[in-house]
Amino acid sequence: MHAVCSVRAVENALQIQIPDNARLIRNIIEAAQYVQDHVIHFYHLHALDWVDIVSALEADPADTADLAQSISDWPKSSADYFAGVQNRLKAFVETGQLGLFANAYWGHPAYALPPAANLMAVAHYLEALDWQKEIIKIHALLGGKNPHLQTYLVGGMAVPLDPDSQSAINAHRIAQLKRWAAQAHDFVAQVYIPDLLAVASFYKEWAGLGGGVGNYLAYGDYPQDTSGNPSSLWLPRGVIFDKQIGNPPQALDHREIREYVTHSWYSYAEGDGTAKHPWEGETRPNYTGPKPPYEFLNTDEKYSWLKAPRYQDTPMEVGPLARMLVAYASGHERVRELVHQVLDHLDVGPEALFSTLGRVAARGIETLVVAEQLSVWIDELAANISRGDLAIHNGERWHPSTWPAEAEGWGSTEAPRGALGHWVRIKGGKIVNYQAVVPSTWNGSPRDAREQRGPYEAALIDTPVADPERPVEILRTIHSFDPCMACAVHIVNRHGREITRVKVA
């Protein structure tokens, strides 16, 4: 995601328009990323906050089969199949080495699923691990490898197209892409979405918890043409304040973005109460925290390595929920249809969207919409190729000799976990400033100069915690944002303490 964002920033600075095929290849890669990432998030990074693995051992596989067959046509749903999964799990538990599953909160009273549903979720946890490594081969084909694709270029993509060559994307490779796209879609439609709805129906109280700041920002993504015009974005761009989804979202102007470091371990030349647009941004570390090892972090002072981005001085949530709300308010038909279906299925009103459960549901809705669209873009690429349009790169500004003496630009994308922006200033053929504002700084930001809380912090307020020593409720809300894992341990610890303190006070 950083790769596409960085090339877009430079393309914006140098005013380069990419060929249509490059646009489509980028869309296909990104769509595959969404589908794979969201499914991994649901099953492997978030499910165990809702699913009790130990309880799955007590399930009657016949009950699980009944449940699974009642919600989906997925073929792997027999009692024998679930019995096999359960046996495997039993054999694993009997070794006494619980590995990744040791020391979790099994048996916690906040777990609400019956054993049959827990066993179904465990089976799909394992299936999803096998599935994700298959469908991500779309990236290997178009990017050389996953993770860390290598074919992004300023001006296009290094992916040759040629129906008559074995060394380019040809009919055979289009067919491979189509097969993986179908595999991706089927799992989402037949496993992920039914599981999501089944699990959510046991946790409806979470439709009233974990809301947060109530302001949402999406840069939008998946251009439908190469104009660079925001109106071409298939997932629309926009800003929503105070949960107002009844009207179209406000237009987004990136110049309204400012970052604070008041409570962040950085300093600004003009004082830490000031805010800076990324083009003027500074990244000068200024650690003032306790000397490690430490137990306590004083959050009255600076307390985070994340800066605090604000839009019009307001904290904004980014991510699948923000994107789906902006799409909904913009009148995106398929998104509106699915949002209504999910609300009806769970028998909750639209206010349920602004919650932990709303965040989890929005991620599922988005995965399905994107999985449906994936094969559309593959077809469009194939149609271009068969028309003889093989262009993949605009090389007019490839050589630095063609650049203006000075240029500035910004590139945006919607990473699976939220809005990502890169800002670049170029002078004399060299970068003079480069700033990235990443989704987890929006969502996980510390307080700003006006002491406004960021989305994670705001979302945790009023969260009931049954057992402060085992705060699974905190994990549910924090994980619902899909925090960047590089920061996760730090953040969870910090808020774990903060909530305990709130309760005591």
List binders of another protein among 276-315 (CB under 8 A): 283, 285, 287, 289-295, 297, 305-307
Task: Check binding of 392 to another protein (CB under 8 A).
Answer: yes
Residues ≥6 apart with Cβ < 8 Å to 134 = 180, 183
Counting residues that bind another protein (by CB under 8 A) gives: 103
Give 166 or 247: the residue with its C-beta nearer to another protein: 166
- Residue window 33-72: x/- pattern of binding to another protein, with contact defined by CB under 8 A: -------x---xx--x----x-------------------
Cβ at position 413, least distance to another protein in Å: 13
Alpha helices (runs of H) in 292-446, residue ranges in sequence order: 320-330, 333-346, 356-386, 439-444
CA nearest neighbour of 6 among 392, 415, 326 = 415
Whether the Cβ atoms of residue 391 and residue 18 lie closer than 8 Å to each other:
no
Which of 59-67, 135-143, 239-247, 373-381 is the region at the interface with another protein (rule: CB under 8 A)?
135-143
Task: Check binding of 390 to another protein (CB under 8 A).
Answer: yes
Which residue is associated with the tokens 């000799």?
A: 401
Which of 71-79, 160-168, 328-336, 380-388 is the region at the interface with another protein (rule: CB under 8 A)?
160-168
Task: Check binding of 141 to another protein (CB under 8 A).
Answer: yes
Residues ≥6 apart with Cβ < 8 Å to 99 = none
Among 24, 65, 110, 136, which residue interacts with another protein (rule: CB under 8 A)? 136
Whether the Cβ atoms of residue 403 and residue 392 lie closer than 8 Å to each other:
no
Cα–Cα dist 228/423, whole Å = 16
Structure tokens at 363: 């991620």
- Residue window 223-262: x/- pattern of binding to another protein, with contact defined by CB under 8 A: ----------------------------------------
Task: Check binding of 79 to another protein (CB under 8 A).
Answer: no
Give 101 or 241: the residue with its C-beta nearer to another protein: 101
Task: Check binding of 104 to another protein (CB under 8 A).
Answer: yes
Cα–Cα dist 396/389, whole Å = 18
Task: Check binding of 446 to another protein (CB under 8 A).
Answer: no
Task: Check binding of 110 to another protein (CB under 8 A).
Answer: no
Q: Which long-range contacts (CB under 8 A, 24 or more apart) does 243-247 make?
A: 243/214, 243/351, 243/354, 244/329, 245/325, 245/328, 245/329, 245/350, 245/353, 246/329, 247/329
Question: 3-class SS at 210?
Answer: coil
Among 74, 76, 79, 92, which residue interacts with another protein (rule: CB under 8 A)? 92
Task: Check binding of 340 to another protein (CB under 8 A).
Answer: no
Which of 2-10, 111-119, 329-337, 361-369 is the region at the interface with another protein (rule: CB under 8 A)?
2-10
Cα–Cα dist 263/453, whole Å = 11
Task: Check binding of 131 to another protein (CB under 8 A).
Answer: no
Task: Check binding of 160 to another protein (CB under 8 A).
Answer: yes
Residues ≥6 apart with Cβ < 8 Å to 196 = 42, 360, 361, 364
Exposure of 260 in the CB half-sphere (CA atoms within 13 A): 25
Give 6 or 330: the residue with its C-beta nearer to another protein: 6
Task: Check binding of 142 to another protein (CB under 8 A).
Answer: yes
Give 74 or 105: the residue with its C-beta nearer to another protein: 105
Cβ at position 295, least distance to another protein in Å: 6
Among 62, 112, 168, 376, which residue interacts with another protein (rule: CB under 8 A)? 168
Whether the Cβ atoms of residue 302 and residue 289 lie closer than 8 Å to each other:
yes
Among 122, 159, 217, 339, which residue interacts with another protein (rule: CB under 8 A)? 159
Whether the Cβ atoms of residue 443 and residue 419 lie closer than 8 Å to each other:
no
